Chains A and B, each alone.
Chain A
Amino acid sequence: MTKFSVIKQRSLWWSISAVIILAGIASMAISTAQLGAPLRPGLDFVGGTRLQVELDCTVPGNCDEPIELAEVREVLNEQDLGNSTIQRIGSAQQGLTIRTKTLDVEQRSQLQKALSERIGEFDPAATQIDTVGPIIGQQLFTSGLLALLVSFAGILVYLSFRFQFDYAFLAFIALLHDVLVTLGIFSILGLVQGVEVDSLFVVALLTIIGFSVNDTVVIYDRIREVIAKHPDQHIDQIVDDAINQTLTRSINTTLTTVLTLVSIFLFGGETLKYFALALIVGFIAGAYSSIFVASTLLAFWRERTGQTKATQVIEAEFLDKA
């Protein structure tokens, strides 16, 4: 097997990560200026009503033509909901998603009635209503954020306990890297494609954290093992060896997981589509960061602190005691 050295080109790996993260941060800054939030917040976080209706195609002549957006806009203007977003859905454009401010029952049934009078009869079995009040939105947001922080802390503690603190800290940096990459890419998608983030996105982030740490842990495990076997080897050599030994596993695992996710992204329901995409982005970032960032950072850190060889550390400790 040809040896592959991550250490040699570490500035290249770091630059790639830096460019993607900086682009994401720039996008988040633009987004904050434009939308008031770094990512385009979905219904879950800001509250509002989303009404999804589909024409009842069993009624003759009902679905012959796609829904006219201008007509929908007119109805919304009449109901004083002018600044709502409208989207056509479905293969024959016979469906409609409307996102408005929070509506109560009366307002909503009025809107539904007005729409069906103008456009045609809707199929109640294909209707979806989501109303989230501002209080709930706030709750979902804070609980999501809290979950993120708690799992960050939990993982940091666990890793410091299983490894040393510097390992844990650098794994944490890799983790932050993956979260930032995912946030950044979704911020860009929010600006360009109007993709919104909801509570499922928070779930995706937490899963990414779990998986990303996974990957880093496997490599760190191997580094520790190689150190135990060859305590007098230079840390650069050790990291390179460990990466080479775990590379196939990293690629295969990411590949199989991403395989299922791509299948969900392409063929799964609308709800899970962007959830799957977030995971795909995060997992690829996670595999990248554990191979190219976490390990090279560890080597870099050990060099900076003069702990390039495990034996040195032992000697230094011995001297300290003496």
Chain B
Amino acid sequence: MQRQRSLVALILVLIILAIVVLVKIPLQQGLDLRGGAQLTIQVKTTEEITEIAPDQLEAVKTVVDRRVNALGVSESQVQTIGSDQILVQLPGVNDPQQAERVLGGTAQLDFRKQIPGTEAQLQIEQQLRQQLLFEQAALLESEEGGDQEEEAIAENQAALERSNAAIAELFEKTNVTGKNLKDAFAQPTQAGNGWQVAIRFDAEGGQGFAELTRDLAGTGRSIGIFLDDSLISAPTVGPEYAETGISGGSAVITGNFDVQRASDLAAQLKGGSLPLPVEIVENRTVGATLGRDSIQSSVYAAIGGLILVLLFMAIYYRLPGLIADVALSIYALLTLAAFALIGVTLTLPGIAGFILSIGMAVDANVLIFERTREELREGKTLYRSVESGFYRAFSSILDSNLTTLIACAALFWLGSGLVKGFAVTLGIGVVISMFTALTCTRTFMLLLVLSFPGVRQKPQLFCPNLSPSQ
């Protein structure tokens, strides 16, 4: 009796703790529930670097991290998986296109010096490229479709690439590159009719940039700003800088930018150049309301299923069934609190795992009650029956839960994101279900039997159709 009382106290404390935890720490929702984008980035090897070392992966991660920050998504997460992948989670992102462009881009920025005597050629090449770009845009906009048009697009693309290469030949590289960049941001042009990207260099870059501009000032030759070997802007420098160059370490990239392209470029520049090429190999984006809809229907389904189970237990097992229902409710409460405490991210499969673990929790109770009924039929007293019901059901409960835990371990060890979530929720559920079945159900049953003589004299409350002669 004393033992039961202290167990009840323990259970009460646990319930209160669970409620406090649930109020204080909200359950983390996965991206499939709250909406957002999850991208897996594959880091690829190059001819020079045939194997990705951990520190190289870490370097790529840092760059990706910076690019993610530039996107301005709150609560974003970047983590490495295995030896060559990076997982990026962007909750609430509503423009996955932009995210993908920025994160997957290998933007390599550098500043080049135009070779003397190429002024006229540059002008021609630039005009040619402008023409090609214009044609390309027209082709893409065209409604015609068909093979012919596609061929034309491909041809034009090839011509553009040739033109880019030709332009690149007119410049020589300097030591000012994206690495020297401290900051980049989009801002409206002074005329107010477009956008530009403002950049700031570090000390070394500022010096290099000053030298570069000093050399070019007043010559009519331009600075080539190249992004991935393609000229994005070729400003000239006025003669007033011939003495010192543009010092102070800041400059502006102008081009034909709209706000979107300007901020994409700024984000790419700020991210710096990646040490290794990357490719986005997986993208799972769920719209915000879609996630809400699915969480709602899953929660309704779960509650509906739970109510059916509670009803079944109460009707079929009578008084013990009601006790099991109380234990199951405590189970649900404790499990959710455990999720919040451990920081389990609740995903759709995770919810499924939780619902299934309720099934497991019921199973333990069913095993116990069936055993108790058998003992009663054999003519034992209620107290003895309850006690040995628990005792004899224990080995089955243990075996069956352990085998499920083995499957959970395999899932957790080998599974990927969503699958892991399922394994964790099911595993925690199984462990807590054993605790509640063996502690809550047992304590409540014994307490009931011990403290109410009325109950003790009516074993049929525990087992219908029990003939007294047995």
List chain B residues, Cβ under 8 A from A54.
Answer: 290
Chain A: residues with CB nearer than 8 A to chain B? 52, 54, 77-78, 80, 104-105, 108-109, 123-133, 135-136, 139-140, 143-144, 146-148, 150-151, 154-155, 158-159, 162, 199-200, 202-203, 206-207, 209-211, 213-215, 217-218, 221-222, 225, 245-246, 248-249, 252-253, 255-257, 259-264, 266-272, 275-276, 279
| Pairs across A and B, CB under 8 Å, 7 listed | A105-B101, A108-B97, A154-B410, A206-B407, A206-B410, A218-B399, A259-B309
Contacts of B396 in A (CB 8 A): 217-218, 221-222
A-binding segment of B180-188, B338-346, B356-364, B452-460: B356-364
Once A249-B370, A263-B308, A264-B298 are accepted as A-B contacts, the answer to whether A271 and B287 lie under 8 Å apart by CB is no
Pick the residue among B97, B295, B355, B367 that contacts A105 (CB under 8 A).
B97
* B312 interface neighbour in A123, A140, A154, A255, Cβ under 8 Å: A255
For B409, the chain A residues whose CB sits under 8 A away are: 151, 154
A213 lies within 8 A of B422 (CB): no
Enumerate chain B residues within 8 angstroms of A199, measured Cβ to Cβ: 415-416, 418-419
Known contacts: A260-B305, A267-B297. The answer to whether A127 contacts B285 by CB under 8 A is yes
CA distance A114 to B62 in the complex (A): 36
Q: Is the CB of B287 within 8 A of A158?
A: no
Q: A249–B366 contact, CB under 8 A?
A: yes
Contact between A162 and B399 (Cβ–Cβ < 8 Å)? yes
Main secondary structure, interface of B, reads helix
Known contacts: A129-B283, A271-B348. The answer to whether A147 contacts B297 by CB under 8 A is no
How many CB-defined contacts (below 8 Å) exist between A and B? Answer: 229
Kindly list chain A residues whose C-beta atoms are within 8 Å of the C-beta of B418: 199-200
Asked whether B278 is an interface residue with its Cβ less than 8 Å from the other chain, the reply is: no
CA distance A130 to B289 in the complex (A): 16
For the complex, what is the distance from the CA of A165 to the CA of B302, rounded to whole Å?
A: 39
Contact B289 A123 (CB under 8 A): yes
Q: Of all chain A residues, which has the CB nearest B284?
A: A130
Kindly identify, within residues 390 to 433 of chain B, every residue whose CB is under 8 Å from any CB belonging to chain A. Answer: 392, 395-396, 399-404, 406-411, 413-416, 418-419, 422, 426
Q: With A and B bound together, what is the CA distance between A259 and B303 in angstroms?
A: 12
Residues of A within 8 Å of B406, CB to CB, are: 151, 154-155, 158, 210
A256 contact set on B, CB distance < 8 A? 308-309, 312-313, 359, 362-363, 366
Given known A133-B281, A162-B399, contact A272–B414 (CB-CB < 8 A): no
A211-B94 Cα distance, complex, nearest whole Å: 40
